[in-house]
Amino acid sequence: MSTTLVYVDARSLSADGLGKAEHELLTVAGQREGDVVVALSAPHDAAADLGRYGATTVVVPSADTAAAPAAGPAAFVAAVARDAAADVVLLTNSLESKEIAARLGVKLTAGVITDVVAVEGDVFTKSVLAGAYTTRSTTGPHLAIVTLKANSVEPGATGERSAEVRTLEAPDPGPAAIIERTEVKPASGRPGLTDARVVVSGGRGLDGNFGPIEDLADALGAAVGASRAATDAGWIDHSYQVGQTGQTVSPQLYIAAGISGAVQHKAGMQTAQTIVAINNDPDAPIFEIADLGIVGDLTEVLPQATEEIKKRKG
């Protein structure tokens, strides 16, 4: 009997349900044969609810593993993977998940495949070299540790089932950085950049004013993104940067305004399902990958788009 192990950060689980990226992982796991086991990063009252998303068993650590970022969850997931004799371990594509995946690769002598966009049996599809190629990989006879990009699959329907909940001793993570103090960023009310369905990004063409980008993002319920030119200029925090050295996003709709479309930017967004580009240069490279190109001044186009969307939403 094969077992798919899914790592779920307990912070993505609340009384309202499960985060979308984690729901996608459980959807992919449910499409595979065999049991679906969840390794939850911390004890949680709603652990059994993960049965609604297809988990057969949820294994919770005896204590929160997050105090030692990446090292704590990795030690715990490795213990669960051994215990459950997992064939595949699925994680989200966040920076922390990728670090956990790397540590799991070492601990379990496993193959690690990141940025995956589709899973068929033991074949994992990803987009590489700034999206110029699509590769299909396996880890041969070895355990596969896979990080799945958000918005790769439609989250499946939820049921009424409860999962069996088991507790496993949280192993000592060994030498690790320990969080001593946490400051919670004020909530923007917008979805997170990496798992948003819609992202509105701005670049150097904004000339320092992200207002029109934020207005359009709010009208669409979208996340805000940026090019490196914009983050380097200090117009917006680096955490908003999309691209090779920033975040990788794969939303259903990506709107790029005042962004030329450098290969390093495209590397982080060109797997978006629909790309809309707004640029006053008809020869801007971003138009080569855009599904809809608008040649115009963004200071005119963005407010008009926002106005029209608000009007249609009533």
Ligand X SMILES: Cc1cc2nc3c(=O)[nH]c(=O)nc-3n(C[C@H](O)[C@H](O)[C@H](O)COP(=O)(O)OP(=O)(O)OC[C@H]3O[C@@H](n4cnc5c(N)ncnc54)[C@H](O)[C@@H]3O)c2cc1C
Residue numbers at the binding site for ligand X (CB under 6 A): 203-205, 227-230, 241, 243-246, 258-260, 262, 264-265, 268, 278-281, 284, 297-299
Q: How far is the CB of 225 from ligand X (least distance, A)?
A: 9
Q: How far is the CB of 285 from ligand X (least distance, A)?
A: 8
Quick one: 51 or 246, whose CB is closer to ligand X? Answer: 246
- Residue numbering of the annotated binding site: 204, 227-228, 241-245, 258-265, 279
CA terminus-to-terminus distance, the chain:
53
Q: How far is the CB of 129 from ligand X (least distance, A)?
A: 14
Quick one: 3 or 241, whose CB is closer to ligand X? Answer: 241
Quick one: 124 or 287, whose CB is closer to ligand X? Answer: 287
Quick one: 39 or 236, whose CB is closer to ligand X? Answer: 236
Q: How far is the CB of 268 from ligand X (least distance, A)?
A: 6
- Residue numbering of the annotated binding site for FAD: 204, 227-228, 241-245, 258-265, 279
